[in-house]
Amino acid sequence: MFLRHFIFVISALAVFANAVIAQKPPCRVALVQTRIAWGDVDKNISAFGSKVKECSGCDIVILPELFASGCEMKKSDRLLAREKKKDIAARFDDVVRAMKQWAGEVNATIAGSTIYMDGENFYNRLIVAHADGRTEYYDKHNCFKKGSFTPGDEPLVFDVGGWKFAAFICYDLRFPAWNKMYGHYDVAMYVANWPESRRGDWISLLRERALDNGRYSVGVNCIGTSPEGKTYSGDSMIISPDGESVASCGEYEDTILFCDLEDTP
C-alpha cells in the first residue's frame, strides 16, 4: 500500500515537473505604433531608431509594415511609382544594417518590412533581425491582384526565447488557410499599413485568427495620413488564444505598447 502511494506521488511530481519545464518564460513584446514619413527612408530610420531605444528590456520589438517608406505601392503614374519603389528598394541593405544595429543595442529581436527588389520583381519583405546578428526574411504571400508586389512562397516561423512567432504581413490576415499552413507556432505576428476605412475588419480578423489557431495574435499598424489622403488609425493590439483583448493602443495614438505574453499549459 505504501509503495503504491509512493509511486503515485512520484508520478504526480514528475508530471508537475514536466509541466513546469515545458512552460516558457514570459515574452516581453513592444509594438511601435507611430507615423511614417512617406517615401523618406533616412527620416524613418532615424525616427524608428529613436523609438527602438525606448524598448530596452524587451524580447521583441515589432514595427509597422513598410516602416522605412510607407505604403509606396501605387501612384497615378505607374512609371513614377516603379521608380519610387526602385529608390526605396535600393536602400534595403541600409535598412537591414540599421535593424541589426538596433537589435544589438537593445538586445532584442526587431521585426518590420520594407521593399526589396530581385531582378524586375518587387517584394514586400519582412526583416527579422536578431541580437546575435542573424537575419531572417519573409516575403508577403497574399498580395493585391492589382498591386505591384510579387508574392512570396515561403512561410517563416522564428524563435524568440523559446516562443515561436509566425510572420504575416497585412493582407495575409484575410486568408485563414495561409495562416494554418505554418504548423506549430505560439504567436501570429501581423505588421500592417491597414487603412482606417477598414479598421473594423482589422480588429475582428485579428480576433478570428487567434480563435482559429488557438494562438496569440499580435497586430502592429501605423497612424497618420498618406500623401494621397489615406488615413491610418493604428489600433495595434494583442489578442489572446481565446479571442480576448490583452492590450491595445489608442486610436491615432503615437505610442509604444509593452506587454508580457504568458505561456498557458
Indicate whether 237 belongs to any domain. yes
Indicate whether 253 belongs to any domain. yes
Indicate whether 240 belongs to any domain. yes
pLDDT of residue 74: 56
CATH of the domain at 243: 3.60.110.10
Indicate whether 17 belongs to any domain. no
For the stretch 211-247, pLDDT in tens is 998 999 999 999 999 988 999 999 999 999 999 999 9
Indicate whether 244 belongs to any domain. yes
Indicate whether 166 belongs to any domain. yes
Select from 144, 57, 40, 24 the least CA-distant residue to 95.
40
pLDDT higher than threshold 60 for residue 6: no
pLDDT higher than threshold 50 for residue 12: no
Indicate whether 233 belongs to any domain. yes
Q: Rounded CA gap, 111 and 225, in Å?
A: 23
For the stretch 92-116, pLDDT in tens is 999 999 999 999 999 999 999 999 9
Interval 193-214 mean pLDDT: 95
Q: The pTM is what?
A: 0.90
pLDDT higher than threshold 80 for residue 190: yes
Residue-number span of the structural domain to which 197 is assigned: 27-261
pLDDT of residue 179: 87
pLDDT of residue 50: 98
Largest CA distance in the chain: 85
Indicate whether 80 belongs to any domain. yes
pLDDT higher than threshold 50 for residue 31: yes
pLDDT higher than threshold 50 for residue 78: yes
Q: pLDDT averaged over the chain?
A: 90
| Number of domains observed in the structure of the chain | 1
